[in-house]
Chains A and B, each alone.
Chain A
């Protein structure tokens, strides 16, 4: 196999792999394995067709289009790895900050809601000092939690979209 053909086959695989939302190690592993398969297909087709360019075309055809393959491979990446990349990966700085603020808002909001729920479930009569907590801090906690959930969800979706182009 000459350099031009090798580069051609490598480029076909790289198109499918390079923007995949997966760790570098996983992408390298996929690249090597898929390339080995495509090279084997090329060898088979070269033996059959006796023409290098036709063998490259036929091998690629048998293997499948990079765009289609990319979406299938992306779906095979574990969601925890995708999530890790979204939080720690390069190029997601703004969404990462929104994600952190959203998460903090959820924690603080729940911190207000849970004691209020505990007081409501307590059979003892509500004292005036508790009434303030229930009428002000409880709704505040709910609003903050909902706001955090919204921010968290929005930053996740935008982060995924940014990453996947």
Chain B
């Protein structure tokens, strides 16, 4: 399967992250793992790029984060655990609807319905 790289994901990354957090709270590395598993290994994202998206979501109140206590093997560097807020859950539902609409319209135009 052809890889889907960061440029193609731009604009969808935040909804994808919300969708991964819909499965339960997670830190950045776990979100990346879930994305790669859900994308059958075809998603190729520079992992640092996840964090600006997470910070934007946090600023918008769509996710909230707490510091993890465990720092084993990382010399005291802690991770943050992200979880969806009620506002984030609504934004995810809206994002899914918008995506469905987008795919239906473009699929019809391209002659390749979803």
Interface residues of A (CB under 8 A from B): 1, 6, 16, 30, 32-41, 43, 62-65, 68-69, 72-73, 75-78
Contacts and interface: CB of A to CB of B under 8 A. Distances in A.
B42 interface: no
A37 B31 CA distance: 11
Contact of B75 (A1, A34, A41): A1
Nearest to B45: A64
16 contacts: A30-B51, A30-B55, A32-B78, A33-B28, A33-B79, A33-B80, A37-B29, A39-B73, A40-B73, A41-B29, A43-B73, A63-B46, A63-B48, A69-B48, A69-B49, A76-B56
A63 B47 CA distance: 5
Contacts of A73: 51-52, 55
Nearest to A78: B59
A68 B46 contact: yes
* Secondary structure call for the A interface: helix
B59 A36 contact: no
Contacts, number: 72
Query: B interface, how many residues as a size bin?
Result: 20 to 34
A37 B47 contact: yes
Contacts of A37: 28-29, 47-48, 51, 79
B77 interface: yes
Nearest to A3: B75
Contacts of A69: 46, 48-49, 52
Given A33-B77, A76-B51, 6 more contacts: A33-B51, A37-B29, A63-B46, A72-B49, A76-B55, A78-B59
A63 B53 CA distance: 14
A64 B79 contact: no
A122 to B, nearest CB: 46
A68 B46 CA distance: 10
Contacts of A36: 71, 74, 77-79
B21 to A, nearest CB: 16
